[in-house]
Amino acid sequence: MAEYQVHQLKNGIRLVHQQFGDVNNGQVAHLGLIIDRGSRDELPNQNGLAHFIEHVIFKGTEKRKAYHILSRLEDIGGELNAYTSKEETVIEAAFLSKHYARTLELFADIVFHSVFPEKEIKKEQEVVIDEINSYKDTPSEQIFDDFDCLLFPEHPLGRNILGTKKLVKAFDRETVIQFIKQNYTTDKMVISSVGAIEFSKLVKLFERYFGDEPENISSSTRETVNGYIPVEQIKKRRLFQAHCMIGNRAYGLKDDKRMAFSLLNNFLGGPGLNSRLNLAIREKYGFTYNLESNYTIYTDSGNFSVYMGTDKNYLDRSIELVHKELKMLRDKKLGPLQLKKAKLQFSGQIAISEESNAVKMNNNGRSLLSYGRISTLEEVHLKIQKVTAEEILEVANEIFDPKQMSMLVFK
């Protein structure tokens, strides 16, 4: 895989590309338009709007109907998709590399020339409301968003990305257009590409389809993270299984302690079946099937949580065992062998994830938006190797402090 290359238009939109494969062969390419705006950037009466726009942005442009948008890539075997997070909106596509021109032209048409017909807005309101209902039927998903509300009360980061039925029903064409005008600015956009095309050719296509858009610099600022008071809540639900989340706020994107805590979180409850939580609770006692710890990183804060789904009879004991593991990591440094294994495992997992060109495309775009550069895999591995047992002990005592832990239970 070649090193990444970057080009910036006069209007501020940036392109990052990694050439992969032989340009003369039928290689699959991945392209994404990543906008540094998401549900966090909504006003209270706009909650759910960023996600709603993800739906209606495919419903017609000045020259295309919804059918023609959806068929433009699918007719040549490609895929078109989009997703919304708390801080990003992403339009992405997978296609054969010979179709770069077609894909870039479609992206530009969607982002800058969508017309948002009222009849399509009404139709998608029902689709999103159905999505909200479906989500409420899945407690293992809903508890994650409800837990965000505990960690970030009265703050956009604590709101559900989908919004509420009442607010979604109130969205109209003018609301959509105004949000896009304010938030989809050229300085907040990055096109990220991984595929079999020469950079010089890609730049020409990029200039052709995105170069004529006028510069539009963002004037909005994000609401800073507010104060946090730990909360414990138990919500009665008609469920066969109890669901529980325990956690705390954690480090933001540019915090120097982020890498040490990422390593610690992976050691505690990452995807490996040999994680501390999995061995201590699932393997030893068989109390739970679903058990994991997560670290979600935002620009200026983070969210650490342990999630488990367990039989109601095992809930109290499982909670006790989670706190026991957290206490052990606060009280005692990892030994040299433990630390070495933890680093090897984390480095290996990152390397495997980078084998996916779709993941690489997304990571490159987000990194360019956040840092103005992309770290190589070698640089990431070096940062992991530099983490010390003392640093891990320090972050464990800060984030696993029992006085700062919140808990949410559905049972």
Mind listing the pLDDT tens digit for each residue in 198-219? 999 999 999 999 999 999 998 8
Residue with tokens 């009404």: 122
Answer whether residue 226 is part of any domain: no
H/E run at residue 362:
helix 357-371
Please check whether residues 9 and 89 belong to one and the same domain.
yes
Please check whether residues 65 and 199 belong to one and the same domain.
yes
Please check whether residues 308 and 237 belong to one and the same domain.
yes
**Which residue range is the domain that position 302 belongs to?**
232-410
Please check whether residues 193 and 243 belong to one and the same domain.
no
Answer whether residue 220 is part of any domain: no
Please check whether residues 201 and 253 belong to one and the same domain.
no
| pLDDT mean across residues, the chain | 95
Which CATH number goes with the domain that contains 203?
3.30.830.10
Please check whether residues 184 and 307 belong to one and the same domain.
no
- pLDDT tens track for 78-109: 999 999 999 999 999 999 999 999 999 999 99
Please check whether residues 379 and 256 belong to one and the same domain.
yes
- pLDDT tens track for 21-38: 776 676 999 999 999 999
Please check whether residues 257 and 370 belong to one and the same domain.
yes
Q: Distance between the two ends of the chain, CA-based, in angstroms? A: 49
Please check whether residues 12 and 153 belong to one and the same domain.
yes
What does the pLDDT read at residue 394? 98
Answer whether residue 155 is part of any domain: yes
Please check whether residues 356 and 297 belong to one and the same domain.
yes
Average pLDDT over residues 212-241: 92
pTM for the structure as a whole: 0.93
Answer whether residue 218 is part of any domain: no
Three-class DSSP category at 382: helix
Q: Where are the beta strands (DSSP E) in 143-216?
A: 189-195
- The count of domains in the chain is 2
CA distances in angstroms from 76 to 81, 98, 103, 198, 357, listed in the order given: 15, 10, 11, 21, 20
What does the pLDDT read at residue 1? 54
